[in-house]
Amino acid sequence: MEALRQLYEILLDFLFPKSKDVLRLEQFSERGELFKLPLAIGSPSSFITPLFDYRDRLVRNLVWAIKYRGNRTLTCAAATLLYEAMVEELGDQSLFESGAVLLVPVPISSERRRERGFNQAELLCGSIKACDTENFLRYEKNTLKKVRDTAPQTSLKRSARLKNLSKCFATENQDELSGATVILIDDVATTGSTLKEARRVLKESGARKVIAFTIAH
């Protein structure tokens, strides 16, 4: 599967050459300077920590390259920053005192997976776990499932977003969730509706605490 994804990425780069912004972002990443992008201003909810300001053009291109192209260089660079942010948060809140710490990607619809060939949140989680040399995170790829396809959130007003997401997630491995801290990973938090619904379902299934990290807001 990984070899196929690499081939897919090479083919995309050949057919659709990278933009100047993406090449610039890759240069930032290789120099360890991605953190210099404009930081997020605020958050849609207190349990969500976004890294960057989505209003910035380079940040939007960063998200696009990861979400639609699965750009390996940018995924790894963003994951490193997400990992550093969550380690700081975990240390501040002393979340290691009891229970497991589970790393959970926000799932996408089966239609989106067929279109892209991957889930960008899973790519981020895989790279985050690669940073976890202390092995304090347990990557649970299938704990949260999307059981109902939904309309794209960006096209809906707030009230419609909430209705659109109702009962779209379900959990597996509820024994693993009992008393655990869950770290949700997604690419963007706009209103936070998707992450709030995921958090609600996880807590109802026994998670002690649920926090979320995204590339941008």
3-state secondary structure 107-145: CCCHHHHHHHCCCHHHHHHHHHHHHCCCCCCEECCCCEE
- State which residues form the domain around 170: 2-216
Rounded to the nearest integer, the mean pLDDT of the chain is 88
Domain count, the chain: 1
Q: Give me the CATH number covering residue 170.
A: 3.40.50
Compute the distance between CA of residue 213 and CA of residue 153 in angstroms, rounded to an integer: 18
Give the tokens for residue 102. Answer: 């589970």
* Strands 101-105, 48-52: pairing kind: unpaired
Kindly indicate the confidence band of residue 109, based on its pLDDT and cuts at 50, 70 and 90. confident
pLDDT at 152: 65
7-21, 45-59, 166-180: least confidently modelled range: 7-21
Phi, psi of 76 (to 5 degrees): -65, -40
- Is 135 within 8 Å of 101 (Cβ atoms)? no
